[in-house]
Amino acid sequence: MLSPSLFFAQIPGMVNYNEEDGLNSSYTYHLRQDKNGLIWIGSDNGLFRFDGKDFKQYGKEEGLKNIDIISCEPLPNGEVFILPFLNDFAYLKNGRVINLNINDYLKNQFSSSIPKITRDGNRLYLYSTQSPRNIFIYENGKVKKNPILLNYNKREFSTVQYDFRTQNLYLNNSITGQILIYSLITRKEKEIRIDPGGIICEKDDFFVFQHQGKITVYQRTDPLHIKKIHSYDTKENIFYGVIDKNNKLWLNVQNGGVLYFNQSLLENKKNLNPPVKILNQHVINNVLVDKDDNVWFNSRNSGVFFITKALFTNHINLSVKSNSEYIKAIAKDDQNIILGYNNSYGAIIYRNGKMQDITLDANNKDENKSIYLNHNVSIFGMAATIVVHDLSTNRSKKLRYSLKSIVPYTQNSVFFCTSGSLMTYHLKTGKITSLLDERVYTVLPFDKENLLVGNFSDLYRFNIKTKKKTLFLKGYYFTDLKKLRDHVYLGATNLNGIIIFNDQGILKKIEKKNGLINDQIKKIEVENNNTFWASTNSGISRIELTADRNTLITNLTQTDGLPSNAVSGCVIRNDTIFIGTSKGLGIFSIKKLLAQEKSIHKKVIINSITIENNEHYDLRENLTGHSDNNVIFNLSFPDYASQGKISYKYKVEGLDETWQLSNSSTIIFNSIPPGKYVFRVYGLGYNGKQSYISSDLPFEIKPRFWQTWWFMAALAIIIIMIVTLIINSWLQKKRNKKLEKFFHEKKIAELELQAIKAQINPHFIYNCLNSIKYLLFKEDYQETENYLDIFSQLIRKTLHYSEKTFMPIEEEVEYLSLYMDMEKLRQNELFDYEFHISEQVNKRWAIPSLLIQPFVENAIKHGISSLKNAKGFVKISFDHEDSTLCITIEDNGTGIRTKDKSSVNTDSFGLKLSQKRIKTFQQLFETHITLEINNLSDTSEKQGTQVKLYISPYENQDTNLHH
């Protein structure tokens, strides 16, 4: 970080920037300031840009063909036109040096000297300083020529000015005093006579000439007339001059120094007021008064000097001049002010502003620790000696004491606080009276009989008559004690800030955490009953106790115009405060000093932003990059009064709402995620003041294609598809194994079903043949014939349906009717039967073929055949509820005896086959078939057996089960 050295041989608080600070050149030429407030310095080692903290150098590596840069011209469009010594013209744009491709003829126009330049916005007019032949116009990187068709006729002229408004060229003959005005439009000439002399400087309508040290100022009243308005005989050899932004004149002296005329040229005075000479030990090439009225001096071999507006104004306008000594103590009486330096010297400032040095001992280097003034009596308290000096006779008397402080006591006496005792000294008689034989640092009269006495660690109440002391405040090292008002006292401490107390004890503590500039207080100066000043090594604080018992603290530092932050003390006279510092005396109007702004009326300059290794200078561009790169902001905050003590407060809105602090002008962010952001930054000057407004820069971090939502979506889809394919592949393999197993099991089940069918058919035929045998045995041939007819139909249908797995309900009913008709013949009309098909049942629905017949056969054989006194009845019903088909076979037979219930499903071979078929159907077609056999007498008064088949279909088009 920049740490400029202080140069104070001329003006307190002046700063010298040189090679140690980054200005690595021995010879500096002209100074310029751009629209953003940055300072540009031409030198023998390239062009430098200064932002108050860092010097940025442009040299050969940056593209300059010639690094001996005389001057430059910053333009409103951001370009900086560069004028090297050999006229290898170039310009700086967006951080790049661009050399102008102009021919040698253009450069030869100015071979003898650098050109004069007149600026009109972004347009520059370049012309020779001696008898120019052309006006060259530069704009936006291009140069065009406008010829001057003036016939000089061997006349030699120096160029005064080209006025682009009227296109008049003003020329001067320094010997004859001739001014030639030539119009490039009409090509007419006009001659004007003035005093002999050469042009020193010009600005707008002002022209400054000098002849043998005499300065004459002329003002243009109209395009063809000028008049003399000021003159002054400097008796110096002037080689250059500047009219600053306030129309004040600066003249550079050949033998060193610069003359400053502290009046505007617009003032209607015939003669200039005497100037102030500054930096007379240095040859000053150029002076710049910047936008804030700070002053810059370019020197020949000593770098750049800088002084703030406050310090410069203080030095120029106030009556006390040329005081830049290290002031260690300051005091006053009702008329004058006295200073004690860091050696055996001092000075007195009289009420009229005149200052007189006081030499106490030229061979003694002891510093002043405390000082006192009472009319002609002045007392200088040094480390090992007290010098009582009579101002009227200029005689001194030495007292050998190791002094800590001098405190006023009565009108004719003072206290001496020494390393060995507390004593009083009578101003007229010189009598010394010892009060307390111990080390005392400070003392304060408390009441008529008591003093407050402070040592290294405590404050005591000391009775003058009894010589007794009583502990008053414990644990405080007081460096100064003052009375604020009746019964209220102030104590400056070495480490604990300020203690406000009364006779009862502490009323209030004021420390750094409460806003005080430092907790180590040297001296206190009372302004009024509610206001006082505290001097520290960090500046000075003004503390005001408000009516609501709060404190209003104003801290003042070098930024506010103090020559130094190391303040030894201050005194107040009316509205003026005299502040003694290590770099001289500061004299200020309290009212103006307190009128300081709470913020700095500047904003941070974002010089460039680097995104994805591309540095952008034109911040109007669409600033975008990607998230896997750093984002770097290069900043400047040209608050020159802070003298390099600059920091930044920033945040990136959209990333983090927390404000960050940095002392670096380069802010780096790593791998910002994709999104739109705003970089917001404030500048912080010395003493914590903030720029009045933030500088904001929007930028966007775009995702790489693999970070975009569509890529993530596509990737997710691809991953899902891959996972799905893997899962499907695994499921397919599992399904294939299951199907393979299922196909094997189905094949086996089909074979079993065929085997069952093969068993059912012979069983059925066997039963039928038994019936025919029975009829033949009875010799009932007619019935046998009928029976055989039905039997043949039944056999055909049985053979037909046995080849099928399913059959429609209506065909099942037709088949069962044939079977029961045949059984009725065989049983001699032993029973009747009935079919009931519900309206909810579609007769085309398919059911497993030949599934019902064994249950009907079982009802006839085991139920109805046992009836003795009643006719049998069989009812077969088809109902449909909740996608389940219910087939009921009900008879009025004898029912199932309790002891036979366990064997009901095992006595009939047909039932066994039917149950096996049910299981096979479930296995083959995943069809749920439930068999339920009930004894009707268990639930009602009726007798008989009820068989129910519940068929819940497997929804498969291949089965068509009751669908």
Q: State the pLDDT at residue 962.
A: 45
Predicted confidence at residue 733, as pLDDT, reads 86
Average pLDDT over residues 614-638: 87
pLDDT digits (tens, 9 = 90+) for 335-348: 999 999 988 889 99
Q: How many domains is the chain built from? A: 3
pLDDT at 4: 44
Which pLDDT score, from 0 to 100, does residue 745 have? Answer: 64
pLDDT tens digits, 840-849 = 999 998 888 8
Task: Report yes or no on 640 lying in a domain.
Answer: yes
Region 172-190 average pLDDT: 94
User: Does residue 534 lie within any of the structural domains?
Assistant: no
Averaged confidence pLDDT in the chain: 87
Per-residue pLDDT band at 954 (split at 50, 70, 90): very low
- Highest mean pLDDT, choosing among 519-533, 643-657, 761-775, 852-866: 519-533
Per-residue pLDDT at 6? 38
The pTM score is 0.68
Tokens representing 645 are 């003590």
The reply to whether 655 falls in a domain is yes
262 and 278 fall within a common domain: yes
779: confidence class by pLDDT, cuts 50, 70, 90 = confident
Res 9: pLDDT: 41
| 728 and 669 together in one domain | no
Q: In angstroms, how far is CA 69 from the centroid of its own chain? A: 38
Q: 251, 280, 307: which is the final residue of a domain?
A: 307
Over range 484-488, report the average pLDDT. 94
Among 349-353, 522-526, 750-754, 826-830, name the most confident range. Answer: 522-526
What DSSP assignment string belongs to 68-116?
A: -EEEEEE-TTS-EEEEETT---EEEETTEEEE----HHHHHTTTTSPPE
Supply the DSSP symbol for 14. -
**Residue 465's closest CA among 480, 482, 447?**
447
Using 50, 70 and 90 to split pLDDT, how confident is the model at 763? low
Compute φ and ψ for 829, nearest 5 degrees. 55, 45
CB of 666 closer than 8 Å to CB of 695: no
The Cα 337–Cα 352 span in angstroms is 11
Domain boundary among 282, 307, 332: 307
pLDDT exceeds 70 at position 470: yes
pLDDT the model gives residue 295: 97
Considering the domain architecture, whether residues 723 and 616 belong to the same structural domain is answered as no
Q: Is residue 351 part of a domain?
A: no
**Lowest-pLDDT range of 8-22, 458-472, 765-779:** 765-779
The last residue of a domain, from among 707, 725, 760: 707
Amino acid present at 703: P
- pLDDT score of 955 more than 50: no
User: pLDDT at position 803, please?
Assistant: 72
Q: CA-CA distance, 697 to 646, in Å (whole number)?
A: 20
Mean pLDDT of the region 211-231: 94
pLDDT average, residue stretch 294-322: 83
% residues pLDDT > 90 (the chain): 58
812 and 868 in a single domain? The answer is yes
Q: DSSP alpha helices (H): ranges in 211-317?
A: 309-317
What is the pLDDT confidence band of residue 905, given thresholds at 50, 70 and 90?
very low
Terminal-residue alpha carbon distance, the chain: 93
Q: What is the pLDDT of residue 153?
A: 86
CATH of the domain at 250: 2.40.128
> What percent of the chain has pLDDT above 70?
91
634 shares its domain with 703: yes
Considering the domain architecture, whether residues 857 and 763 belong to the same structural domain is answered as yes
**Beta-ladder partners of 424:** 415, 433
Burial 399-415 (b: 16+ CB within 10 A, else e): bebebbbbbebeeebbb
Predicted pLDDT of residue 957: 39
Q: Are residues 693 and 729 in the same domain?
A: no
The answer to whether the beta carbons of residues 52 and 604 sit under 8 Å apart is: no
Question: What CATH number is associated with residue 764?
Answer: 3.30.565.10
CB atoms within 10 A of CB 256: 16
pLDDT value, residue 762: 66
110-130 average pLDDT score = 87
Q: What is d(CA 99, CA 115) in angstroms, rounded to the nearest whole number?
A: 17
pLDDT digits (tens, 9 = 90+) for 246-291: 999 999 999 999 999 999 999 877 778 899 999 989 999 999 999 9
Q: What HEC string does 903-920 produce? A: HCCCCCHHHHHHHHHHHH
- Domain assignment of residue 849, yes or no: yes
Strand, coil or helix: 629: coil
Six-digit token string for 598: 């709470």
Q: Are residues 225 and 289 in the same domain?
A: yes
723 and 623 in one domain?
no
> What is the spatial distance between Cα 662 and Cα 658, in angstroms, rounded to a whole number?
13
Q: Are 615 and 608 in contact (CB under 8 A)?
A: yes
Q: What is the DSSP letter of 9?
A: S
Q: CA dihedral in degrees (313, 317, 321, 325; nearest 10)?
A: -30
pLDDT score of 818 more than 60: yes
What is the C-alpha separation between 842 and 829, in angstroms, rounded? 31
Whether residues 781 and 648 share a domain: the answer is no
> How many C-beta neighbours within 10 Å does residue 616 have?
20
The C-alpha angle 287, 289, 292, rounded to 5 degrees, equals 155
Q: Contact at 8 Å (CB) between 33 and 51?
A: no
Compare 787 and 305 and report the one with higher pLDDT: 305
**pLDDT tens sequence across 909-943:** 566 767 777 877 776 676 788 889 999 888 888 88
Average pLDDT of the residues in 299-305: 92
* Six token digits for residue 305: 């000097």
**What are 589-600's pLDDT values in tens digits?**
899 888 877 788
Please indicate, yes or no, whether residues 917 and 768 belong to a single structural domain of this protein: yes
Is residue 692 a part of any domain in this protein?
A: yes
How many Å separate Cα 853 from the centre of its chain?
A: 92
By C-alpha distance, which of 152, 165, 89 is closest to 120?
165
Residues 699-758 have pLDDT tens digits of 998 877 666 677 788 888 999 999 999 988 888 888 788 777 767 666 665 555 555 455
What is the domain range of residue 697? 605-707
Structure confidence at residue 2 as a pLDDT band (50, 70, 90): very low
Contact 856, 813 (CB under 8 A): no
Strands 523-528 and 531-536: antiparallel
Question: What number is the average pLDDT over the span 149-175?
Answer: 93
> Looking at the predicted structure, is the pLDDT value of residue 959 above 80?
no
Q: Is the pLDDT of residue 27 over 60?
A: yes
Model pLDDT, residue 697: 94
**Shortest CA distance to 663 belongs to which of 683, 677, 680, 679?**
683
Residue 588 falls inside a structural domain:
no
873 shares a domain with 828 = yes
Residue 669 has pLDDT above 60, yes or no: yes
Residue given tokens 């044939």 in the structure block: 818
Q: What is the pLDDT of residue 742?
A: 64
- Residue 958 pLDDT: 42
Identify the sign of the CA torsion 760, 766, 768, 770. negative
Is 181 a domain residue? no
